Structure 1
Amino acid sequence: MKKILVANRGEIAIRVMTTARKMGIKTVAVYSTIDRNAPHVRFADEAILIGEAPSNQSYLKGDKIIEVAKSLNVDGIHPGYGFLSENADFAELCEQNDIIFIGPKSKAIKVMGSKLAAKEAVKAYDIPMVPGIDEAITDVKKAKDIANKIGFPILIKASAGGGGKGMRVVEKEKDLESQMNRAISEATSAFGDGSVFIEKYVSSPRHIEIQVMADSHGNVLHFFERECSIQRRHQKVVEEAPSSVLTPELRNQMGEAAIKVAKSCDYLGAGTVEFLLDENLNFYFLEMNTRLQVEHPVTELISGVDLVELQIRVARGEKLNIKQEDLKINGHALELRVYAEDPLNDFLPSVGHLSVYKLPVGKGIRVDNGYEEGMDIPIYYDPMLSKLITYGNTREEAIMLMKQAISNYKVEGVATTLPFGKYVCEHDAFISGNFDTHFVKNYYAPENLKADMESDAKVAALIAVKHYLKDQKLLRVPKI
């Protein structure tokens, strides 16, 4: 593999290109009109304009991307995450054009892309599942019978869903019909597929995921877990590795279960198996993400591997040169997704101009970044600016470094999730490790964050005044 096209933008495009460059592989960037001057375009060896700003006219145009890849003699395409990364048709298109898709085969993407098909695939592997029905349902009467059998509260979920869309918690039977209709409507609108199913609602779950990597020689490894329970609108904001609640025995059990899930669909490459963990430490299979995850850096830091490099190696047919017993957890890593979102206004996107944009640096601090000072934040794409990752020997050290890095990350022109990250890191529930996916609902209120921000601003102002008075005093000292 001598040349890779990265079918993505922003920080993940640069992340993939960095590893490709390290491996001596040339890179091709694709970009939309609004991304013409974006950092990922300049970082690549070659860059090609593929369309207008809306993603359905550029980054989602699989045919156009294949055409560019063929014209430039590209050997492989890395999709990053989002856009075409879990598009089975695009993976198949790559296969048909003799271009290596740096990800799983299209069949595995199809199977795991449907929550119902995924449940069916792993049935034979004795993997714990949340009680419920594993078939699409539209009949309200049947839904009520199932719900009463497994007990309220229940969760209605879109089969083709993700990101919290097409998902409804139903506490009482009288609300089931209206919530079911809403879930079907939302799923149809978001995914073009209104299939929904019902399962028991796990009331205080933690969201734990296991990183796996599979080669074409029958080897599948797991690279331990990531704790992803700090979420807003069912989407992750803060992640860490390892989890503070898993015992070595439970970690091993979940790792083995994740490997079985990968084997159930003849998986290839990097993937993530997601589980719910209840308050009694029982775990249940949730879904499999057939791509590299946003939060992959925390796994890289605790396991000492480059997951993108392994992706590329197994995509070109190489055998994994690591054994499971060789992998050990070293230290602790924390990641904050730095979104251009306003945590004081329900995390709504904050579009604007980055008049100031300075990144933190230092030992144990990593920033996977896609923007620079002077750029505008486009409305067309996910509003993530970067990922701020810290690594320490202990969880306490990683949290301390995160707070320090947040303080040294300077952004003006847009609101970001940086203050929310600081709020999380200073909260007793997070520090103690005693939290679940309801952290935001249970502990977060915009007015609390506002009070914290105003307090920080007062402290900063007092320090500035103190320095000013000290400087004035020094200036008045007469020269001898």
Structure 2
Amino acid sequence: MIRRLLVADRGEIGRRVFATCRLVGIETVAVYADSDADAPHVTEADYAVHLSGGTPSATYLRGDLLIAAAQRSGANAVHPGNGPLAEDPDFATAVADAGMIWVGPPPKTLGTLHRKCETKTVVAEAGVPVLPTWTDPAAVTEFPVLIKPSSGTGGTGMRVVRDAVALAEAVAATRQEVGGDVYCEPYVGNVRHIEIPILADAHGAVVPFGERECSVQRRYQAIVEETPSPAVDPALREELCRAAILAVRALGYVGVGAVEFLLDQDGSFWFLELTPTLQVEHAVTECVSGYDLVRLQLLVAEGGSLPMPGPPPIRGHAIEVRLCAEDPAYAWLPATGTLHRFAVPDVAGSFRPLSQPGLRLDAGVADGSVVGQHHDPMLAKLVAWAPTRQEAARMLASALARTQLHGVVSNRDLLVRVLRHPSFRAGEVDTGFLDRHPEVFAPLLSSVDAVRISCLAAALAGAAARRAAAPVLASLPSGWRNVPSGSQTAVYDGPAGPVEVGYRMNRHGELAGWWVRAVDPEELDLAGLGQAPTIDDHPPTVVVHADGTRVVLDINGIRLTFKVHRVGEVSYVDSPEGSVTLRELSRFPLPAPEAAEGSLIAPLPGAVRRVLVVPGQRVRAGELLLTLEAMKLEHPVHAPSAGVVASLPVQPGAEVDTGELLAVLDPE
């Protein structure tokens, strides 16, 4: 029996496992790196063990340290979470050798799954459809092909090659990137990514739990998942589940996992892999089945039998989104910083199956959490469970649009636009959805009028906060004068650049006029600012209420409420129209230091992973110079033009901040 369980992971998955442990009476142990000392998963555990260090390779991925932590804390079982260690046969073996219960598949099975080509061979012999595999690039007979690492997860290193000329170079680059062998298989574009979640016990029972649609992807990773799939009818579901059971039995699999398939438009499907973890999207399966999958996972690890005779019935529809700290408009660049506020409205529960339809939030962060460079960018997953797919999509989009997420850039707006897109609502999704619909990359607050009114709300809230904090005459209306005077103004750096907000208040504190206009950044310190335009074309606006955190405006007879959260010089404005971040600018900014011509600076904080050039080397335009690793992803830095590397102040392993100099090129 499991008495005390250590979770060898962090964030959302740690909190998820701990929630079930509390329900079934298992004591919990967390581990934490230096940066996670106050993280939610640490404070919620019964015991916590510090792992000295900051990077994953020095802490969360050190199997020896984790096993030592389990032994020190008196744990008799280890749950690997859903990171790389969950798929590591050596770690599973070490846990068992230390006399503890391993909550996962047998090490031998993990060893086979680690060798993906061998896995495909085993399941093909069991009668499961698979795509052809080439380990020798010279043997490839059809294009396009997808180059894939022979081991590893998360889509790292995968490349599409469309002709034989580029294949050899692409294979060599992928091998260098992943540090191991690769293989090729036919690239099937615009297909659906379907997975069958399964549970298998040591007594021979294998139970599939319907299917999950995971086709809306970026970088080969799903950001929207749902069950059931709008493309799978009962007959196809039965066929997919039968293939999944064949794969599980052929591989000798025990535990919780998911068998992943590619599904073509004509109903053909091919085995991709068996993922041996409690996947991020397990929450949608819990919603429609009613089962706690973590509880069942622990039951199987203790040697118990599954309590259900077969697949549970599907109850309604569930859709999940992964809310990530990344900027979709800039090549999904990860974002770091302090999460000043994280508030999702109308959440019915977290980290366990819901008793009735509603919203479920599984988050690894809270107000004040620091989003660092070393971990996955996922902040939380939000799930809507409803009787129908349309209701679930509408509920989820509305909650996301009203979420307050302040401090880091996120993919929230894109997720809302995906959920509201006519093609998504019609169930017309596949792995090429985002490529076909670039319109979903636009911010929610995209209309000029909506941005302007949000700027006005920020300025009014700022004025109200200053009046409330005034040491004298705090009762006077903002901007009050004995005689007519100039307008009150504020200058913000907004979504489209600097803007000036101007407004006039009468002697009764009522809004007499207002405007918002773009400002040339080079003219911020000129005397022309603060003078009202000769034509004010904004609609009649009445300030119903204004304080430092809430502004209510009546615009053409329609009342609208704005929530304003100010942190330092930044105002976060949320309204039914959308959200906007405004940084107040100084009228007399200090001159910024100028970078030398040809300077390449870090676009985000991270660690230098590879340096491929040396000073004095001549490079071509577009040539890869070095790579940065941040949030488990590798980000390339290319030469913007042909030239010579004049200086290279960084080396592999160096930690850099945003804006730090990486290299200087002397252009030709």
Q: What is the TM-score normalised by the length of structure 2?
A: 0.66
What amino acid is aligned across from residue 445 of structure 2 in structure 1?
M
- Corresponding residue SS for 2:273: strand
1:342 maps to which residue? 327
Q: Which runs of 5+ in 2 are unaligned?
A: 349-357, 458-539, 546-551, 555-668
1:280-312 Cα distance to aligned partner (Å, 9 max, x none)? 111100011111101110011011111000000
Q: 1 CA distance for matches of 2:29 and 2:249?
A: 32
- Corresponding residue SS for 1:152: coil
Greater strand proportion:
2
Q: 2 CA distance for matches of 1:456 and 1:32?
A: 44
1:10 maps to which residue? 11
Shift of 1:376: 1.4
Shift of 1:454: 2.1
- Corresponding residue SS for 1:257: helix
What amino acid is aligned across from residue 173 of structure 1 in structure 2?
A
Q: 2 CA distance for matches of 1:184 and 1:33?
A: 33
Q: 2 CA distance for matches of 1:227 and 1:106?
A: 29
1:40 pairs with 2:41: yes
Could you tell me whether the CA contact under 8 Å between 2:347 and 2:361 is conserved in 1?
no
Larger radius of gyration: 2
Shift of 1:467: 7.8
Q: 2 CA distance for matches of 1:61 and 1:156?
A: 29
Q: 2 CA distance for matches of 1:335 and 1:377?
A: 22
Could you tell me whether the CA contact under 8 Å between 1:91 and 1:106 is conserved in 2?
yes
1:207 pairs with 2:187: no
What amino acid is aligned across from residue 429 of structure 2 in structure 1?
F
What amino acid is aligned across from residue 163 of structure 2 in structure 1?
K
Given candidates 203, 224, 238, the residue that maps to 1:217 is: 203
Compute the RMSD of aligned alpha carbons: 2.0
2:150 maps to which residue? 159
Q: 2 CA distance for matches of 1:48 and 1:88?
A: 24
Task: Map residues 322-401 of structure 1 onto 2, 5 A cutoff.
Answer: 322-325=308-311, 327-363=312-348, 364-401=358-395
1:55 maps to which residue? 56
Shift of 1:253: 0.8
**Structure 1 runs of 4+ with >3 Å offset:** 459-473
Could you tell me whether the CA contact under 8 Å between 1:340 and 1:385 is conserved in 2?
yes
Shift of 1:383: 1.4
Could you tell me whether the CA contact under 8 Å between 1:34 and 1:53 is conserved in 2?
yes
2:213 maps to which residue? 227
Task: Map residues 3-402 of structure 1 onto 2, 5 A cutoff.
Answer: 3-133=4-134, 136-137=135-136, 140=137, 142-143=138-139, 146-147=140-141, 151-188=142-179, 193=180, 195-325=181-311, 327-363=312-348, 364-402=358-396
1:427 pairs with 2:421: yes
Shift of 1:168: 2.0
Q: 2 CA distance for matches of 1:112 and 1:204?
A: 26
Shift of 1:204: 1.9
- Corresponding residue SS for 1:130: coil
What amino acid is aligned across from residue 340 of structure 1 in structure 2?
A
Q: 2 CA distance for matches of 1:161 and 1:58?
A: 19
Shift of 1:388: 0.8
Could you tell me whether the CA contact under 8 Å between 2:326 and 2:334 is conserved in 1?
yes
Q: What is the TM-score normalised by the length of structure 1?
A: 0.91
Q: 2 CA distance for matches of 1:416 and 1:30?
A: 27
Q: 1 CA distance for matches of 2:109 and 2:374?
A: 29
Shift of 1:120: 1.9
Give the share of equivalent positions with the same residue, in percent. Answer: 39
Could you tell me whether the CA contact under 8 Å between 1:111 and 1:121 is conserved in 2?
no
Could you tell me whether the CA contact under 8 Å between 1:8 and 1:83 is conserved in 2?
no
Distance change in 2, residues 1:457/1:310 (3 Å): farther
Distance change in 2, residues 1:25/1:453 (3 Å): same
Q: Which deviates more from structure 2 when the two are superposed, residues 104-113 or residues 436-445?
A: 436-445
Q: 1 CA distance for matches of 2:449 and 2:91?
A: 49
Shift of 1:198: 2.1
Total equivalences in the alignment: 455
Shift of 1:439: 1.0
Q: 2 CA distance for matches of 1:403 and 1:472?
A: 25
Shift of 1:201: 1.5
1:476 maps to which residue? none
1:214-250 Cα distance to aligned partner (Å, 9 max, x none)? 1111111100111001111111111111100001011
Q: Which runs of 5+ in 1 are unaligned?
A: 474-480
2:450 maps to which residue? 458
Shift of 1:459: 7.9
Could you tell me whether the CA contact under 8 Å between 2:361 and 2:383 is conserved in 1?
yes
2:520 maps to which residue? none
Greater helix proportion:
1
1:116-164 Cα distance to aligned partner (Å, 9 max, x none)? 011122122100111343xx32xx4x33xx32xxx32222222114322
What amino acid is aligned across from residue 315 of structure 2 in structure 1?
N
Could you tell me whether the CA contact under 8 Å between 2:445 and 2:451 is conserved in 1?
no
1:247-285 Cα distance to aligned partner (Å, 9 max, x none)? 101101111111111111211110111100112111100
What amino acid is aligned across from residue 302 of structure 2 in structure 1?
R
Could you tell me whether the CA contact under 8 Å between 2:49 and 2:73 is conserved in 1?
no
Distance change in 2, residues 1:282/1:454 (3 Å): same
Select the structure with the greater relative contact order (CA < 8 A; seq sep ≥ 6): 1
What amino acid is aligned across from residue 447 of structure 2 in structure 1?
S
Shift of 1:460: 9.8
Q: 1 CA distance for matches of 2:40 and 2:66?
A: 19
Distance change in 2, residues 1:112/1:456 (3 Å): farther
Q: 2 CA distance for matches of 1:456 and 1:47?
A: 50
